[in-house]
Structure 1
Amino acid sequence: MLRRAGLLAGCAAVLSAAPVAAQDSESVAEAEVSGNVIIVTATKRDEDLQDIPFSINAQTAEDIQRSGAVNLEDVSRLVAGLSIQNLGPGQSQVAIRGVSAGQIVRDQPGVKEQVGVYLDESVISLSLFTPDLDLFDLNRVETLRGPQGTLFGSGSIGGTIRYITNQPNLDTVEGMIEADLNLVDVDDIGYSLKGAVNVPLVEDVAAIRAVGYYTQFGGFINALTDDGIIEDVNSGERYGGRLALTVKPVETVTITPRIVYQEIISDGFNRQETFNLFANPFTTTRPPIQLGEREQFLRLREEFRDETLIADLVVDVELGGTILTSVTSYSDREILVSRDASALTGSVSVDLGFPDAGVLLPSNLQDTTDLSTFTQELRLASNNDSRFQWVFGGFYSDIERDYTQRLPTPGYDGFTDAVLGAGTAAAVANGFPADSPFNSDLDFNIEQYAVFGEASYEVTDRLTLTAGGRYYDFEEDRTIITGGLFAAGGPLQEDVTASDGFTPRFLASFDVSENVTINAQAAQGFRLGGVNDPLNTGLCDAADFAIFGGFQDFDDETLWNYELGLKSQFGAFTFNAAGFYTEIDDLQVTLDAGSCSSRISFNVPEAHTLGFEWEFAGQVAPGLDIGISGSVLEAEIDSAVLDGAGTPFPGLQPGDRLPSVPEFQVSADATYRWDVAFGEAFLNGTFQHVGDRITQPGDQFPELTLPATSGLPFAGATGLEPLNTDPALDSYELVNLSAGIDLENELSITVYLRNVFDVNPLLSFDRERGGRARTGFRVGQPRTLGVTLRKGF
């Protein structure tokens, strides 16, 4: 309690003492000329970021280029309160302000996201598979902190992230070409070529904007195999583009259809292994191996593919003092995660008493996701200078998500029948292919209806009050059938999850003086519950079945967020800060079900987050701009959860820490510019500190949740050798440097060095079958040297 009281007192002291400024409309116009105003659309209308009455960050295209960010994870290190849990290429989880339930993995498609992700007006969220969009030709990335359920729905219980692209310009021919060449970890080359062009078709009436890009990613993970070493197995490529058309047939109507396509292909994963059934120091009949930094062991090559198609249509119609907006969106994603599951299958085979030849069979786990989403939003908003401003509308979505798993392991049925009895493999197949000990078909349909509204009233010249809410109605239909030796089997099972409710939001904004604006907010958020997949009962030992066997479904998660913040801009300086407290009910937590090789989700009755975040930017000397942002966070469990045997889960008791978010995070950047012949030169440096984290709640007590030994007698190992596994994710610091010149002919040349000190950041803990088959970490990119050329016109 003392710690919490001290943190709240510190927040109040900073909020009351900060020397910052609000702006009237004339000063805003002047600031736009000098480039100090950022216009955002977080409230479904264009507003100065400093006028938004809650905590929001906007990383502009210039910010992104200056920091060297190439993906959302890079951007997150510059945004206070935003954290990304990297689980491999195209696979990440986003948390804002510590609202996090731990690692969600590929085979949990029923778990919903906690942060909504939008591409302009179109929702593109998908739990685990947060779209890894290219950042080229973006106008900005907005991070809306705290629940945004009123205007953005269920997936935004922790907040919302919005990729805002540059729109077609009706009266200017413009464009840019960018080329990049880089060297990753000294020995693997990456490169990219990107271009954007805007062409008015009929001046002031129609224009088209086209964007295309191709990127080759250099790898940095080496794979040991039985036949030698394969270097840089996690290289890959990303290519795609956007094509948008804006038509303005009359002054009051704007129509913008768009198509977005992107494909990501990776030849492997950024997994650094510490133990592998087939590569560890304890084997005697196989060569003992101590895996090192940025190394893994493979019996089969791995692959990741993510093909995304988005088609949307935005129509704006001005109706006097109001504007009618229609947003229609369709998206289709096809995702393949193909990984080497030989250690997983082999660990089960050891338990079943298979001979070494059966244990050593190569095994390939293929997870496929086929997603199609249709959404329609229709809203009406005020468009005048009245003291009373409002927006209300309706939303509909229909999501079809088909998820399949196959585990082709040639020759496995023969060993199954030889050890367990003739005909066993066929008896448990349940109609699935031979020589595949696990198979699953899991289909979802989620339908949602919602009505939302928000209104603000300027009570006085200084005080504005806002209230809003969203009524939602969800229904999820799920079918599942499994088969194979490892699966639960049985007939097709159908489950229905339904939920409806109302989430309100209240805000107040008060101009203390011309220099200080104080904001306060109370907002509720929600996340839909669901049903767990059946445990792989054939794999569970008695202890794990007793612990995890009693969890079938999980309820909706809800929270209330309370925050007090300030915003201002004073000359060349901006300072924003907020203190917040979030009270969470029925937090959905995910755990690995040990030997069962399953994951389950369940509810923690009570949890909370408490913190303070700040952002400062300004020009401290002629030509020298600096920025500093950071957050201090307490995110903890407030009530115990009991397992099937009535014992509290380690990591899920009062005072235990929530996973995946650092308690302290800070970033700083500085840019110095000076005039040279024919242009301007610059130097830039960024520093990012990310505090220690855990991947799952139990990782803070590894001695209670991870096996002390491998438990698997194989290849001369007894199974009693100590693993000494520490799943903690240590804090790390990254330093990036860049230098270049912007020439008068819109050509810029930048030389950069990312991760200057070649830090090996641990991003998430990776485990197979509770750690008995394999353990390791997802790690970040090592030192990278590169050069970028940009030419605008």
Structure 2
Amino acid sequence: MINKRRSGHALIGASVVMGLAAGAPLSHAESTRTIEEVLVTARKQSETLQDVPFSVAAMTEGKLQQSGATDLESMAKNVAGISIQNLGPGQSQVAIRGISAGQIVRDQPGVKEQVGVYMDESVISMSLFTPDLDFYDMNRVEVLRGPQGTLFGSGSLSGTIRYITQQPNFDGVSGSIQGDAETISHGSDGGSVKAHLNVPLSDKVALRMVRYYQEFGGFIDALQPDGSVNEDVNEGVREGGRLAVLFQPSDALSITPKVVFQKIDMDGFNREDDYHLLANPYTTTRPAITLGDYEQYTQLEESFEDDFALFDLTVNYDFNDQLSLTSVSSYTDRDVLVVRDATALNSSITGGSYGEAPSVYLLDAPLYDRTSAEVLTQELRLSGFDGPMQWVAGVFYSEVERHYSQSLLVDGFEASNPQHPDLSGSTAGQRASTDELYYSDIPYQLDQYAIFGEVSYDLTDKTMLVVGARYFDYEETRVLSFDGIYTAAIIDDRSVVSSNGVSPRVIVRHALNDDVMLNAQVSQGFRLGGNNDPLNVPLCSSTNNDEQIYGNNRDFDDETVTNYEVGAKTNFMGGAGTFNVSAFHAQIKDLQVTVDAGSCSSRLIYNADEAHSSGVEMELFMRPLSNLEFGLSASFVEAELDSDVESEGSVLAVVGGQDGDDLPTAPGFELAASVTYYFPVFNTWEGFANATYQNVGERYTKISDQNNNGQGVATLYPNVGGPLTQATYGYDREMDSYEIVNLRLGVRNENWDTALFVRNATNEKAELSIDTERGGNARVGHHVNQPRTIGLSARYSF
């Protein structure tokens, strides 16, 4: 185990040394007023950001570094229309334009992602676990808003995010090294060391390497049953790297193999507990405990481990100036282990529902969630142009083999002699071992075939028409095995779902003049359906009819989005400013909604027949003076259900939201603003001061959180710590709006870039998502952001 406080101090020292070394005067980096054009490949061809005929945002390496963004969540704070729902380390979920059904949790492995995430040309997105990759030496990050089903397939229902890495080059040896150190208010220290190196090995071979190591400081304290406190339990480490080699035997042929690897190891979660069955102020026979800010209650250590590896090979051959062939092959291997303290959940069952003694319900109950996935993809495409026509056409294949398992192992449960007949006796089953109260094992395979194409044709010198379509064919096979006294035994139950169809896109772009471009489009995206896991019938309350309400929802349908959009991209002030705006209306059919199945401790997916998301997003960037930059992005979204989410059991009920309820995750309003001022320092350096501001509106974690006017009610169990001072615990399921201010002050020249930074300068505590156990009856908590953090960053480039 690493002594994170000690190594954090060492990292601070290293960064200070680097910062002092930066005092050597070198050349001054001059600022110009003209905004640099950004090249993107959002349509699988190179074009400027302003020429792309739909809404795209791009954060270049310079902007990422200037804002201090190191990963997807910190980057998203500066981009309109994208929201990140923080569900713990490595488990964040992405929503674009408010199209979201809300929280997807670990025990829903059959649910597919709504936003596709790519590393260069390779898809890396996986539902539940969006890869939390470090952005060091990233060329840019592209955010493609709206359905991208034509070119990017199923995972891009509401948009696509692409990490574009810096490629090996033959320009000579170059590299960089960066050290960062930080300290968290009322928390521990953290820091990182990162480096990259580009080396031409010959006139035909070049390689580029990236390596990074980061220690995350903790800020959550965990109260223990003996009254002690484990401080800063959400500390952790992220380390990884990339290696790419460019082989260019001729001007026409390039071959680029690449390896990406990363490991995340966290000691706990950024969860603040508001109510805990075993630690609350309403008891009279247990120690009364009131949990405070950044506190949680645990009986055992929680952890998160994520091992990620990507191997891909990109081959490009130019037949001539008008035709090229690209092949992209990739293999992804990923293993995720989540260990949660489910003692409160288990206590709510054994002590709360069954009335067992403390010797039974206070036993440690670790819940192990394991996910392993192997993904093989192959894309082959031709692209070319002939006069007024540009086109791309290709085929795509992917094979996903994923294995998910869950185990609730309560050591000593049989020996504790539970009295209720549902709990007494042997706990071993056909698959469950002794004291393994819940067991699940779900291997499955998803095969996908697709043919896609898109043609751009210049109708006139000012008007372009784009027409594209993708034919897809999916088949998913799962084998379900469930065992243990908390569920009905199901062994090797095989299920198959399949789907095929066409996702079209039509775009019209018209240039009013050199500075104003208008665009309009109709596009479609989709997300594959699947099978639900079986209901945990033994845990269902008979008084609430939960088995009858939730017990007949075997599968869920594909989700489709049809998007209608108009927009404008403008340049002004002679190239010193850009203003882009888009208005959209997305009609959603069969929205996949997560539903908590009452007292059954199960989560199921239902389809809402109709929903919509309408809104406006805008981005303004300008440089009114050569030494002053200003950026503003904002989005307003109205995303709502247009039909009730109803059960399919023998007892009908509204279970997941009503007509008119807001879609969760994404707020109705988001705004981000940044300003940077440059100034000379000692005539040889350029100083800079940067401030960013983020405003995020109210939102919900799940659609069903709006039931009962957004008020949650947890039932308190008299047998656990009773007699109790009250019968229920009420809480607000709507998360408040929040505002975050980041500051950065530094100096730089041709080789050095050193800065002091303050993240969350106002020390705002933001609720990022709700985390409950057994509908809140066992525990109610929130994932929260990092408190005020002060640090130093120093980077040397050569």
Does structure 1 conserve the Cα–Cα contact (< 8 Å) formed by 2:33 and 2:625? no
Aligned-partner Cα distance in 2 for 1:66–1:137: 13
Aligned-partner Cα distance in 2 for 1:283–1:168: 63
Aligned-partner Cα distance in 2 for 1:642–1:194: 51
Most deviating of 605-614 and 349-358: 349-358
**AA in 2 matched with 1:552:** R
Aligned-partner Cα distance in 2 for 1:422–1:322: 69
**AA in 1 matched with 2:567:** G
**AA in 1 matched with 2:794:** L
Change (3 A) 1:247 1:226: same
Does residue 687 (structure 1) correspond to residue 693 (structure 2)? The answer is: yes
**AA in 2 matched with 1:329:** S
Does structure 1 conserve the Cα–Cα contact (< 8 Å) formed by 2:676 and 2:690? yes
Deviations 1:431-482 (A, max 9, x none): 3211110010011100000000000100000100000000000000001111
Does residue 586 (structure 1) correspond to residue 590 (structure 2)? The answer is: yes
Aligned-partner Cα distance in 2 for 1:559–1:455: 22
Does structure 2 conserve the Cα–Cα contact (< 8 Å) formed by 1:358 and 1:412? yes
State the secondary structure of the residue aligned to 2:436: coil
State the secondary structure of the residue aligned to 1:707: strand
The residue correspondences of 1:737-776 to structure 2 (distance < 5 A) are 737-744=743-750, 746-776=751-781
Aligned-partner Cα distance in 1 for 2:723–2:374: 48
State the secondary structure of the residue aligned to 1:547: helix
Deviations 1:404-443 (A, max 9, x none): 11111111123466432797334x6223211110010011
Aligned-partner Cα distance in 2 for 1:131–1:274: 29
Change (3 A) 1:578 1:589: same
State the secondary structure of the residue aligned to 2:269: coil
Does structure 2 conserve the Cα–Cα contact (< 8 Å) formed by 1:272 and 1:296? yes
The residue correspondences of 1:520-539 to structure 2 (distance < 5 A) are 520-539=520-539
User: How many angstroms does 1:698 deviate by?
Assistant: 1.9
State the secondary structure of the residue aligned to 2:263: strand
Aligned-partner Cα distance in 2 for 1:762–1:611: 24
The residue aligned with 2:215 is 216
Deviations 1:346-376 (A, max 9, x none): 1110212211110100100000001000000
User: How many angstroms does 1:312 deviate by?
Assistant: 0.2
Does residue 722 (structure 1) correspond to residue 722 (structure 2)? The answer is: no
The residue aligned with 1:11 is none
The residue aligned with 1:575 is 579
User: How many angstroms does 1:640 deviate by?
Assistant: 1.4
Most deviating of 720-729 and 604-613: 720-729
The residue aligned with 1:666 is 671
The residue aligned with 1:621 is 625
**AA in 2 matched with 1:633:** V
Aligned-partner Cα distance in 2 for 1:506–1:349: 57
Does structure 1 conserve the Cα–Cα contact (< 8 Å) formed by 2:33 and 2:626? no
The residue aligned with 2:556 is 554
Aligned-partner Cα distance in 1 for 2:725–2:413: 23
Does residue 358 (structure 1) correspond to residue 360 (structure 2)? The answer is: yes
Does structure 2 conserve the Cα–Cα contact (< 8 Å) formed by 1:682 and 1:741? yes
**AA in 1 matched with 2:348:** S
Does structure 1 conserve the Cα–Cα contact (< 8 Å) formed by 2:284 and 2:725? no
Deviations 1:248-290 (A, max 9, x none): 0011000000111100010000110111111011122211111
Aligned-partner Cα distance in 2 for 1:421–1:349: 10
Aligned-partner Cα distance in 2 for 1:46–1:506: 19
Normalised by the size of structure 2, how large is the TM-score?
Answer: 0.93
The residue aligned with 2:403 is 402
User: How many angstroms does 1:707 deviate by?
Assistant: 3.1
The residue aligned with 2:136 is 136
**AA in 2 matched with 1:460:** T
User: How many angstroms does 1:64 deviate by?
Assistant: 1.3
Does structure 1 conserve the Cα–Cα contact (< 8 Å) formed by 2:277 and 2:779? yes
The residue correspondences of 1:426-437 to structure 2 (distance < 5 A) are 426=427, 429-437=429-437
The residue correspondences of 1:33-182 to structure 2 (distance < 5 A) are 36-182=36-182
The residue aligned with 1:636 is 640
Aligned-partner Cα distance in 1 for 2:470–2:299: 51
Does residue 301 (structure 1) correspond to residue 301 (structure 2)? The answer is: yes
The residue correspondences of 1:378-389 to structure 2 (distance < 5 A) are 378-382=380-384, 384=385, 386-389=387-390
Does structure 1 conserve the Cα–Cα contact (< 8 Å) formed by 2:548 and 2:651? no
Change (3 A) 1:424 1:114: same
Aligned-partner Cα distance in 1 for 2:490–2:741: 54
Aligned-partner Cα distance in 2 for 1:528–1:207: 41
Aligned Cα root-mean-square deviation (Å): 1.7
Deviations 1:159-178 (A, max 9, x none): 00001110001232111100
Aligned-partner Cα distance in 1 for 2:417–2:231: 35
**AA in 1 matched with 2:516:** V
**AA in 1 matched with 2:622:** G
Does structure 2 conserve the Cα–Cα contact (< 8 Å) formed by 1:417 and 1:425? no
Most deviating of 304-313 and 648-657: 648-657
The residue aligned with 2:199 is 199
**AA in 2 matched with 1:223:** A
Does structure 2 conserve the Cα–Cα contact (< 8 Å) formed by 1:702 and 1:725? no
Deviations 1:196-253 (A, max 9, x none): 00000112x1100000000000001010001300110001000010000001001100
Aligned-partner Cα distance in 2 for 1:367–1:173: 45
The residue aligned with 1:14 is none
Uncovered stretches (5+) of structure 1, i.e. residues with no partner:
1-30
Does structure 1 conserve the Cα–Cα contact (< 8 Å) formed by 2:360 and 2:418? no
Q: When the two structures are aligned, how many residues end up with a matched partner? A: 759
Aligned-partner Cα distance in 1 for 2:208–2:422: 65
Change (3 A) 1:676 1:33: closer
**AA in 1 matched with 2:795:** R
Does structure 1 conserve the Cα–Cα contact (< 8 Å) formed by 2:423 and 2:485? no
The residue aligned with 1:274 is 274
User: How many angstroms does 1:721 deviate by?
Assistant: 2.5
Aligned-partner Cα distance in 2 for 1:416–1:593: 29
Does structure 2 conserve the Cα–Cα contact (< 8 Å) formed by 1:77 and 1:690? no
Uncovered stretches (5+) of structure 2, i.e. residues with no partner:
1-30
The residue aligned with 1:8 is none
Does structure 2 conserve the Cα–Cα contact (< 8 Å) formed by 1:561 and 1:580? yes
Deviations 1:678-725 (A, max 9, x none): 210010000000001100112123468743532453112449523111
Aligned-partner Cα distance in 1 for 2:339–2:658: 36
1:696 to 702, 707, 722: 702
The residue aligned with 1:604 is 608
The residue aligned with 1:709 is 715
Does structure 2 conserve the Cα–Cα contact (< 8 Å) formed by 1:711 and 1:720? no
Aligned-partner Cα distance in 1 for 2:257–2:588: 39
User: How many angstroms does 1:788 deviate by?
Assistant: 0.2
Aligned-partner Cα distance in 2 for 1:758–1:32: 35
Deviations 1:60-94 (A, max 9, x none): 11111222223211111211110011100000111
State the secondary structure of the residue aligned to 2:183: strand
Change (3 A) 1:468 1:717: farther
User: How many angstroms does 1:618 deviate by?
Assistant: 0.7
Change (3 A) 1:721 1:516: same
Aligned-partner Cα distance in 2 for 1:439–1:361: 18
Most deviating of 470-479 and 614-623: 614-623
